[in-house]
Chains A and B, each alone.
Chain A
C-alpha cells in the first residue's frame, strides 16, 4: 500500500484528536448562579438577564455593577471591571465571565447577547 494515504489518515486523526483535547482542556464551563457560588475557577460563565434598574456605572473607576438573574430565578450581584459594553441598553441578556469573590461575581469580560439579525421576536400576534 502507498505511504501517502496512510500518512494522511494518521496525521488527520492526530490533528483532530489534538483539537478536541485542546478544546476539552480549555473550554470554559457555563454554570448556574447556584453552581457558581460553590464552584472554583476564574473563567466561569453565567448567562442571565440584567435585572431592570440595577445597572450602576462608575465611569471614573471603570466599574459596572448590576444584578443578574439566571433561568432558575437566582440572583447574583456582578462587579464588572473590564471593557464597558457601548450599547448596554440594547442588551437582552449577558454572559458574565469570571469568579465568585466575597459574595459577588467579579468579571472582566462581559459578553452581551444582543438581538442579532436572526432574532425575530414575535411581539405581535399574526394571522
Chain B
C-alpha cells in the first residue's frame, strides 16, 4: 500500500495490539499447558497428589482457548482490519451478527471454534469421568494441544505487514468482508451448533481410550451414554441447520447434496447413533463390549479423517467442491495426529480391547429378540457410514489409482444408501415391539399387526391426497426414478414404499409411547427421536420426490410470465443503490387458485474479482402448511448483445441473436462536445436503428469526469432496450456499442415443494427426543474414582 495512503489511516489502538498479542500468546500457553497436563497426568499414577495440578493445567489450557476466541471476536467486533484474518473476513458495513460470524467463516477461525467447542465439552464431562479421568485428560490434552499447534501455524492473529508505516501499524477503513453467500443468519448459529457437536465427539473417543487403558470397559458406557446422546442431538441439529442454510440461500431448492463437508459431519453422527444403541445392549445384556469400544472411537476418528480430507487440498483437483490448502506445517500436525490416533487406536484395541471384549457375556444365536434387532440396526448404520465415507474418499482414492479421479454424484449416493435406509426404518419401527427374550414370529406379528394396518391406511390416504386434483401435486403420469443397474422404476410405487417405511416408524413409536408413558419414561426420548427422524425423512422424501419445478423469464417490458401455473409480474426494485445489501426485487404473484401475494428476492451487487459488479441473489420462500413456494432467480440479464460491437463511422450492420432477433444499426456520425481530455467533454455516436417496422434515432454518449470513470448516457431504444457507448477512438472515430435490456430480464426458477414443513418439524422432534434421552440417562452417580479395576491399569 502506498505510504501516502497509509499516512491517512488511523494507527492501531494499543488495546487492539495487546488483544492480538494476547490471543497469540493464549494459543502458545495452550500448547504449554496441555503438554504440562499430559506430563502431570502420566506422572499422577505414581504421585496421586499431582491430580490437582494436572487438572489445573487441563482447565487452564481449555480456558486459554476460550480466551483466544474472546480476543479474536473482540478484534472482529471492533473492525481491527490490521489483522490479516479480520481484514479478509470482516467488514465495517456488516451487521454485528455477521462480524461475529466472520470469526468462524474461514479455516483459522473454524479450527479455533472446533478447539473451543472441544474444550467446553472437555470441561463439562470432566466431573463425571471418575476412574477414567487420568486417561481422559491425557487423550483430551494431546488432541487440544495438537489443535493449538495447528492454530500456532494457521494463526488468525497475524497482522498485515503492508499496513506497517515506520513501525506503526495502520488500520484500513474496511475489510474484504466474508463471502456474500455466507451472509445469512444460519451462518451465525449453524457453525457454533455443529462445532459443539464435533467437540462432543472427543468425549466419547477419550473415554473409549480411557476404558481400554484402565482395563474397565464396563462402567465407561454409563459415563459416555449421556454425552453420546447430547452429541447425536447437537450434531443432528447442526446438520439440519446446514441443510436449511443451503435451502434458503443456494437457490437450487434442496437441503442435501452429499457434499464432502456435509458427509464429514454425517458419518460421525451415524456412528454415534450406532454407539447409542450398542450402549443399551451392553448395559442391559453385558455384551458388545468390544463393539462399543470401537464405536466410541469411530465418530471422532472419521471426523478427523474428514477434516484432513477436506482441508488438505487433496480433493481440490478432483472434487466438485473448492477447498483451501492448509499451511504446510499445520497440515503436518493434522496428518501426524490422524495417523498416530488411528494406528494407536487400532493397536490399543488389538492389544487391550480384544481382551476386554472377551468379558462380554456369551453371544446369542440369531432370532427374534431386541438384542438382535439392535445388532442389525448398529450394523446397518455402520455400513451406511462406511459407504458414505468410501464415497467421500472416492475422488481422492480414484485419483491415486488412475491419476485423473472420478466423482460420486448425488444420485449414486441415493442408490446405495436407500438399500440400507429401508431396513433401518423397518428396524426402528418393529424394534420397540420386540422383547429382550426370544419371541416367536407370530407373537411379534400380532403385536404389530394393528400398527401395520394403520400405516397402510395412512400411506394410502397420503398417496390419494398427493394425487388429488385439488390439493395434490399433479405429477406427470409415468414419472420414473433411477434405480441400480441402469434401470428405472415408476415414481408412485417407489414413493409408496418410502412413505410406508417412514409412516410405519412414526406410528409404531407413537404407539409405544402411548403404551409406556405411564410405566417407564426412560425410553420415551428414544422413541421421540425415532419419530423425529422419520418425520424429517418424510419431509425430505415428499418435498424432493413430488417436487415440481419450471424455469421462466420475467420481462418487465412484456408484462407477466406464466411459470408452473403461477403468473409472475415484475413490480419494483427496492434499494438505496446497487450495493445495498437489503436490496430487493419485488414481484406480484398470482397462484393457480387465484391467490395473490408479493414475493421479494434479495439482490445486490458487489465488486467482483475484476472490479465489475457481481450479482448476489437470495431466493424467496413462502411457507404454507401444505407446501413451500420456492422462488429463485439467476442474476438479472442486462446485455441484449452478449458482447460489445465495434462500428466505424458510416458503417451499417445487422446484428442478430436468439434473444432479440435482428436489429439493423447505422453509425451515422461521431459527435464531440468540448475539448478533448477536459472534464465535461462528451463523445457521442449518432445512430439510426431499424427494428422490424420501427425506426429509432439515438445518440449514446460518454462524458469525461474530473476523476474516476466517465459517465454514460444510455438513450432508450423502444420500450425494451437502451444503447450504450462503452468506448471510442477519437482518432478514427470508431465506437464500441452495446445494446442492453431496459429494464433487465429476470431469469427465474420456481419450485413447488410439498410438505417441506415436515423437515422443520422433524428436526425439532429429533433434537427434543435426543435431549430428553440425554436428560433421562444423565449420570446421577459418579463413577467411583477408587474402583478396584484401577489396579489393573499399567503404570
Contact = CB atoms under 8 A, between A and B. Distances in A.
Tell me, yes or no, whether A binds B: yes
A6 B106 CA distance: 47
Given A4-B364, A8-B379, A84-B749, A95 B324 contact: no
A97 to B, nearest CB: 8
A93 B322 CA distance: 8
Interface in B393-432: 394-395, 398-399, 404-409, 412, 415-416, 420
Contact of B614 (A20, A35, A71, A89): A89
Interface string B605-637: 000101000111101000000000000111101
B350 interface: no
Contact of A115 (B160, B322, B633): B322
A10 to B, nearest CB: 11
A48 B409 CA distance: 18
Contact of B365 (A3, A27, A32): A3
Nearest to B259: A116
A62 interface: yes
Chain B interface secondary structure, helix, strand, loop or mixed?
A: mixed
Contacts of B746: 59
Contacts of B408: 23, 26-28
Contact of B387 (A19, A52, A92): A19
Contacts of A56: 642-643
B317 interface: yes
B412 A27 contact: yes
Contacts of B107: 118-120
A126 interface: yes
Contacts of A95: 320, 407
A126 B161 contact: yes
A120 B89 CA distance: 9
A97 B275 CA distance: 39
Interface in B733-769: 745-747, 749
B659 A28 contact: no
B447 interface: no
Contact of A127 (B160, B615, B642): B160
B23 interface: no
Contacts of B776: none
A45 interface: yes
Contacts of B108: 120
Interface residues of A, number: 63
Contacts of A124: 84, 87-88, 160, 162
Contacts of A85: 634
Interface in A23-37: 23, 26-32, 35
Interface residues of B, number: 87
Contact of A87 (B310, B364, B616): B616
B610 A57 contact: no
B406 A86 contact: no
A65 to B, nearest CB: 8
Nearest to B601: A86
Nearest to B407: A28
Contact of B261 (A7, A35, A47, A118): A118
B634 A114 contact: no
Nearest to B405: A30
A11 B379 contact: yes
Interface string A44-79: 010100001000111111110100000100000000
Contacts of A2: 363-365
Given A4-B375, A23-B394, A59 B161 contact: no
Interface string B365-376: 110000010010
B159 A126 contact: yes
B391 A61 contact: no
A88 interface: yes
B619 A111 contact: no
B321 interface: yes
A66 to B, nearest CB: 11
A71 B317 CA distance: 9
Given A60-B659, A62-B551, A22 B415 contact: yes
B182 interface: yes
Contacts of B366: 3-4, 7
Contacts of A113: 320-322
A90 B404 contact: no
A87 B658 CA distance: 23
Nearest to B158: A126
Contacts of B480: none
B321 A59 contact: no
Contacts of B705: none
A31 B404 contact: yes
A103 B53 CA distance: 72
B479 interface: no
B786 to A, nearest CB: 36
A86 B251 contact: yes
A86 B551 contact: no
A89 B635 contact: yes
A40 B659 CA distance: 32
Given A4-B364, A22-B416, A30-B404, A92 B322 contact: yes
4 cross-chain pairs, A with B, having the tightest CB-CB distances, nearest first: A89-B614, A113-B322, A86-B251, A56-B642
Interface of B: 84-85, 87-89, 104-108, 110, 158-162, 164, 176, 179-182, 187, 191, 250-252, 261, 310-311, 317-318, 320-324, 363-366, 372, 375, 379, 383, 386-387, 390-391, 394-395, 398-399, 404-409, 412, 415-416, 420, 484, 551, 553, 608, 610, 614-617, 619, 632-635, 637, 642-643, 657-659, 745-747, 749
28 contacts: A7-B366, A16-B390, A19-B390, A23-B390, A35-B404, A52-B610, A58-B658, A60-B659, A83-B551, A84-B634, A84-B749, A86-B617, A87-B181, A92-B322, A114-B179, A116-B321, A116-B322, A117-B105, A117-B187, A118-B310, A118-B323, A120-B324, A121-B88, A125-B160, A126-B84, A126-B161, A127-B160, A127-B164
Given A22-B415, A26-B412, 8 more contacts: A28-B408, A30-B404, A59-B659, A60-B553, A62-B747, A116-B321, A118-B107, A118-B261
